[in-house]
Amino acid sequence: MKRLFSPILFTAAAVAALPLAAQTPPTVGWPANRPPDQTAPPAKPPQATQTPPATKPLATTPPAPGAPPAQQAVGTPPPIPLPQWFVEIDTDKKGEVTRADFLKYRMRSFEELDTNKDGKLTLEEFVKVAEPPFSQDVPNGPTLEERKNRARSEFQNLDTNRDGFVERAEAEALVHSEFNQYDTDRDNKVTEPEVRLIVQRSLAREAAERQQIEARRRQGMAAINDFMDMQLREADKLDKNNTAS
């Protein structure tokens, strides 16, 4: 969805409970975060080696012009990616995002959906979030009608005072809740180390879940194999008994 308003609208219930990319980074979602290019720094030029005093230092051949930079050292883990929202907000590369900037960024879609500019969204306005340009059809993804049904359900979650509108204050409360998940030291700004740590933990959880799924799959396959072996052994016994008789 445009400008990541989907975390506000389509994961409202999850954010309230917290985390993932409230999201939990995201991603799911925190949705596809494209980190900035973070290539390894170029290698330092080789130093001239010295031989014993009686001889001249051995000259080294400088790298050829246009040669590619040195590759990342073997065994060094890749840098933890930053969520796309962090990259888009931190345009001056200060390495931090303030609460005010985060709120402004997240609320842009609210302002676009609020076509009559009355500071609140009706159900009719809100459901537009399921349509282009806020949401696009993707292969094997939910249909337009499915997205609209989900939007209607999320509208009820966001309308906390049950007045039939999603007011600006209600949407902002959700954005502040999301920001609080990243602002671990409560200084009203999210720094790169804070968000990278959360992303790292999210990736670790996902890896652990994948391992558990794979372990259960293997256990299931092992159980099937054991069952088949048992059936074959029983069949062999029957064949031998029939032959003996």
Structure tokens at 13: 């219930």
Element of type H or E holding 146: helix 144-158
**Residues 6 or more apart from 134 whose CB is under 8 A from it?**
1, 2, 5, 6, 109, 112, 113, 128
**Residues 6 or more apart from 209 whose CB is under 8 A from it?**
none
86 vs 81, more confident: 86
Structure confidence at residue 224 (pLDDT) = 81
Nearest C-alpha neighbor of 202 from the set 90, 82, 87? 82
- For 219, counting Cβ atoms within 10 Å of its Cβ (0-12 exposed, 13-18 middle, 19+ buried), the class is exposed
pTM of the model: 0.56
Is residue 136 within 8 A of residue 35, CB to CB? The reply is no
The end-to-end CA distance of the chain, in Å, is 74
Q: Mean of the pLDDT values across residues 212-235?
A: 82
Tell me the helix, strand and coil percentages in the chain, rounded to 5.
Answer: 50, 5, 45
pLDDT > 70: what percent of the chain? Answer: 67
Nearest C-alpha neighbor of 103 from the set 27, 189, 37? 189
Nearest C-alpha neighbor of 36 from the set 104, 101, 107, 85? 85
Confidence at 236, pLDDT banded by 50, 70, 90: confident
| Tens of pLDDT, residues 105-140 | 999 999 999 999 999 999 999 999 999 989 989 999
Structure confidence at residue 192 (pLDDT) = 94
Element of type H or E holding 96: strand 96-98
Q: Name the average pLDDT for the chain.
A: 76
Other C-beta atoms closer than 10 Å to the C-beta of 99 total: 17
